[in-house]
Every structure is written in structure tokens, then in C-alpha cells.
Amino acid sequence: MIEAYQAVVLVPYAAALVLAALPSYRIGAVGNVIASALAFAAGLWLMLGPQTVGSYAIVDEFNVLFVAINTLVGFTAALFSASYIGHEIETGRLSPGFLRFYHAMFQAMMGSMNLALVANNIGLMWVGLELATLITVVMVGLYRTPQAIEAAWKYFILASVGISLAFFGTILVYLAGQPVLGEGLPSMTWSLLQAAAARMDPALLDLAFIFLLIGYGTKVGLAPLHAWLPDAHAEGPTPISAVLSGLLLNVALYALLRFKMLMAGQPSALDPGPIMIVMGLVSLIFAAFMLYQRRDIKRFFAYSSIEHMGLMVFAFGMGGPLANFAGLLHMAMHSLTKSSIFFAVGHVAQAKGTQRFAEIRGLSVTHPRLAVAFALAVLAIAGLPPFGVFASEFLILTTTFARQPWLALLPAFGLLVGFGALLLRLQDTIFGEPVGPAHRVDASSVPMVMHLMLVLAAGLYLPPVLVGWFRRAAELLG
């Protein structure tokens, strides 16, 4: 009898092996969907099941929701890619062999991310993240066009440097924990470290946190460590872009936050707040400005992911129950919304046969339904009601202003600048006289709509159990 948290990790890995063995890519796609569905079921099971703290795995208010979102988005992404990826075969961008590989890797990636999420061991967490990253590197290079390889190469180098820095940070944490908790496993077990944080050496913790911030921050996509993110999003297959923006960034931020909790446990250590505020604001404002010059629709939304990650990091840097709550909410909302946007972008790219803004015009004339969905998704990410992002941004801005009025001007400025770009692009794409071809779209719109529904629901009503988790996690974050 296996536990939920084991299932969450093992199901994808097992599926990866099976899919690697399956010959036909069609069956592979179906298998991918089934496996993701199973993982999602496991995720729900985990969500409803008891919370456990083992020596290797931990299930608490903080990560249970992320596992749920992870498996959910994984499921919808698999659904989307099943209906989408066939198109890539037709256009000859991929060969069946590569698809087989793709499906196997997809599951492996999901498994690794879940591993990183449920791991109670900072080493395991690191392993999971690293595996997930390396796999996405391969996925990004999948099309083997010069651009794709360049993107993958850039991603690979930056990411692996980040990985090694993160590992060094992990070692330092161990070193900090070892005198307190003794040698071996305990001083790598997160829950014990968390409990003993107060007795650790602050200077060592500072050092560790800096290395971890740079290391995991690279995967979060914080400026100036963001460089890999836009190209990786733009050149990889669209489902992978959705997973990257929707999940991998979250998992990296999740890891970062775990260590922030550690820091919060040791009062005489460096306060990570200001550093995170600065980095968050830099990312937010920089990305907002970068939006204006983008001509590739996927790269555009990649930068918007950087912007939102910056906002989250800012919120967590502000700290306090309200800001942390808002940050967590924003994390959840962003991953749902952004992945739905990438699904929509996939549709658009199929409909117009291009990813370039200049060749996408008047969607509301040629593809009304798609245009509406796309518009709703973009407006949602822009933080307009009735969607959940509005709630989180409402909380972040109000509480920031209430505490430090002048500081609040900066995120507001960044958000407004970004909003301008989003609105400009939205109007250009869906309005006006249509140009270029208007193909039939055969990708399924279920995932997109499903996500939008969820975000809408969250904007109208947050279930108390969810709120409870967020509350608890927010308290832990200090």
C-alpha cells in the first residue's frame, strides 16, 4: 500500500518508462494523458488525505496545494499536447520517434517536479529540481532548429550554473545544521532544520541563502538571472512553455521559500526581505518594459511570467500574513492563468500559422470564440476582475500601501507599464481587419477553458480550506 505522496512521484516515473517503450506516438499521447490523469488523481488524494512529515517526504499546508496545481496543470497540459502535438507531425517539425521521447520526458519531468515538491530532504529537493530542469532543456531543444538549439544551450548553461550554486547552498545549509542536528540525514531533513533554525550559525545561513537565492532564482527567472527564460519559452513546444511558466518557475520559487522559512527561523541572520524586494521589483519593472519590444507572442508572455514572478518575490519579500497570503494566491493564480494563455497561444499559432504579432490581426473576426478566450485570459493576467489575479494584486498593493506608501508606487508603476503593453498587444491581435491565413484549429480548447473557469471561480470565491492552507503557509513564511 503506497502513500499518496509516493504515488504522486512514482506514477509519472513509471509512466515515463512505459511511454519510452511504447512504439506509436498516438498511443503515447493517450498514455501520457492517462498517466497525468492518474497523477492528478493522486494529487487530489494527497490534498484530501492526511498531512505527514516523514524523513524523506513532507506533506504540509505549504506544498499540498502546489502538488495539486502541479498535477492539474500537468494533466491539462498533457490533454492539450495530445490534441496539439499531432499538428507538429503534420507540419513536419517533429518525427514520431521524437514524440515518443517527448512523452516519456514529459512524465519524467512531472515526476521530478513532484519529487522536488514533496521532498522533506533538501538534497532530494535539489535533485528533483535539477532533473526537471535538465529534462526541460532537452524539451526546449526538441525542434532542433538553430534557434531552438541556441535557446536550449543558453538555458542549459545558465541553469546548470544555477544548479551548482544551489547545490553549494544546500551543502552550506547542511553544514549549518550539522553541529545542531548531528551528522547524516537529520541535518538535511527540512522539517528538522526548520525546527532547529534558531540554533544555527547565522553567518553560515546568510551564505547559504545567497547561494540558494542565486541558484534557484535562476530557475525562478528573476532579473538579471532571467536570460534563458524568454528564449526557452519561445522555442520549445507550446505545451512545454505552458509547463515551464505554469509549474517549473513555481517549483523553483517554492524551494526558495522553503529556505526563506529557514531564515525566518533564525532572527539574527540576514533578513532576506529587502533583497527579495529589490530583486522582485527589478524583475517586475524590467520585464514590464521589455514587453513593449517583443514581436514573438510566446516570448512576450514569457516576459510577462518574469514580471509576475517578480511581483510574487516582492510580495514574499514584504512578508507579513497578508502579503504572504497574497503572494501564494498570486502564485496559484498565475500558474493557472499563464498556462491557459500558452494554450490559447498554441491555438492562435495554429490558426495563423505564425507566432509573430505582426501577422496576427483581427482574430475576433476570423476566430471569435478563440478571440474571446484569449482576450479573457490576457485580461485575467493583466489583473482585471472577475479573475483571481485581481484578488491577489488587490491584496499585494493595498497592504503594501498601508505599510509603506511610497514603496507601493514601484510595483504599481511596473504593473501599469506592463498593463499598457498587454493591452496594446491584445487589441492589435484580436481587433482590426484580419490579415494572413486563417486555418482551422484542431487543438482542444478544454484545458484553456477549464483554467479560465478555475481562475474566474477563485476571483469570485475562495474555498475556506484553501484559505486555511494559505494562512498556515503564510504564517510559516513569517
Partner 1 sequence: MKLAYEISHLLAGVMLVVSFAQLYQQRIAAVLNAFAAQSITLALAVAWAAWSEDRPDLFITATIAFLLKGVLIPVALHRTVTRLGVHREVEKVVGVGMALLVGLALCGLSQALVVKIAPVSAGLARDELALAMAIVLLGFLMMIVRRNAVTQVVGFMSMENGLILAATGAQGMPLVVEVSVAFSVLIALFVFAVFVFRIRERFDTIDIEALDRMRGDRR
Partner 2 sequence: MERPGQRVLGVYGLGSALGVLAVAAILATLTQAALALVYPLCATAAIVLGALDLQVLLSDGSLSGSLPLGLPTIGLRLRLDPLSAFFGVVINGGVLTASLYGVGLDRIELTRRVEPLFPIFAAAMNLVLVADDAYGFLFFWELMSLSSWALVVARHTDPEARHAGHVYLMMAALGTVSLLFAFGGLAGPAGGYSFDAIRAHPPGPAVAALVLAAALIGCGSKGGLVPLHAWLPLAHPAAPSHVSALMSGVMTKVAIYGFMRIAFDLLGPPSWWWALPPVVLGALTAVLGLLYAVLDRDLKRVLAYSTIENVGVIFVALGLALAFKANAFSAAAAVALTAALLHVLNHSWFKSLLFLGAGAVLHATGRRDLDGLGGLIRTMPRTAVLFLVGALAISALPPLNGFVSEWLLFQAVLAGPTLPQASLHFAAPAIGAMLALAAALAAACFVRVYGTAFLGRPRSVEAAQAHDVGAAQQVAMGVLAMLCILGGLLGGPLAAALSPLVTRIVGGALAAGGGPTPLSLVAFDAGRSVYDAPVIALFVAIASVTTLVIVHRLSERRTRRGPAWDCGFPDPSPATQYTASSFAQPLRRVYGTVAFSARETVTMPPPGDRAAARFSVVLVDHAWRVFYAAPARAVLDLSLRLNALQFLTIRRYLVLMFGALVILLAIAAVAT
Q: Does 307 bind partner 1 (CB under 8 A)?
A: no
Site size toward partner 1 (CB under 8 A) is 51
Among partner 2, partner 1, none, the one that 403 touches (CB under a kind-dependent 5 to 8 A) is partner 2
- Smallest gap from residue 352 Cβ to partner 2 (A): 17
Nearest to 335 by CA among 68, 40, 126: 68
Report the C-alpha gap between 352 and 439 in whole angstroms: 6
How many Cα neighbours within 13 Å face the side chain of 70?
A: 34
Residue reference for cell 505522496: 5
Pick the closer one to partner 2 by CB: 88 or 307: 307
Alpha helices in 226-271 (DSSP H): 228-235, 238-243, 249-265
Q: Does 408 bind partner 2 (CB under 8 A)?
A: yes
> DSSP string covering 397-433, please?
HHHHHHH-HHHHHHHHHHHHHHHHHHHHHHHHHHSSS
Q: 418-440 burial, b for 16+ CB within 10 Å, e for fewer?
A: bbebbeebbeebbeeebebeeee
Alpha helices in 60-143 (DSSP H): 61-90, 96-118, 122-140
Candidates 21, 27, 184, 416; binder of partner 1 (CB under 8 A) is: 184
Instruction: Name the grid cell of 84.
Output: 496539439
On whether the CB atoms of residues 234 and 298 are closer than 8 A, the answer is: yes
Q: Does 296 bind partner 1 (CB under 8 A)?
A: yes
- Smallest gap from residue 201 Cβ to partner 2 (A): 13
53 forms beta bridges with 58
Among partner 1, partner 2, none, the one that 438 touches (CB under a kind-dependent 5 to 8 A) is none
Q: Considering only 72-80, 107-115, 131-139, 258-266, which stretch makes contact with partner 1 by CB under 8 A? A: 131-139
Neighbours of 295 (CB within 10 A): 11
Candidates 291, 306, 313, 344; binder of partner 2 (CB under 8 A) is: 291
Pick the closer one to partner 1 by CB: 241 or 399: 241
Q: Considering only 15-23, 35-43, 289-297, 340-348, which stretch makes contact with partner 2 by CB under 8 A? A: 289-297
Candidates 21, 203, 435, 465; binder of partner 1 (CB under 8 A) is: 203
Neighbours of 100 (CB within 10 A): 19
On whether the CB atoms of residues 417 and 288 are closer than 8 A, the answer is: yes
Q: Does 149 bind partner 1 (CB under 8 A)?
A: yes
Q: What is the 3-state secondary structure (H, E, C) of 19-44?
A: HHHCCCHHHHHHHHHHHHHHHHHHHH
Pick the closer one to partner 1 by CB: 57 or 466: 57
Nearest to 418 by CA among 238, 281, 273: 281
User: Would you tell me which residues interact with partner 1 (CB under 8 A)?
Assistant: 121, 123-124, 126-127, 130, 134, 137-138, 141, 144, 146-147, 149-150, 152-154, 156-157, 160-161, 163-165, 167-168, 171, 174-176, 178-179, 182-185, 188, 200-201, 203-204, 207, 230-231, 234, 293-296, 299
User: Would you tell me which residues interact with partner 2 (CB under 8 A)?
Assistant: 153-154, 157-158, 161-162, 165, 203, 206-207, 210-211, 213-214, 218, 224-225, 227-228, 230, 270, 275, 286, 289-293, 320, 322, 364, 379, 384-386, 390-391, 394-395, 397-403, 405, 408, 412, 415-417, 419-420, 423-424, 427, 430-433, 459-462, 464, 467
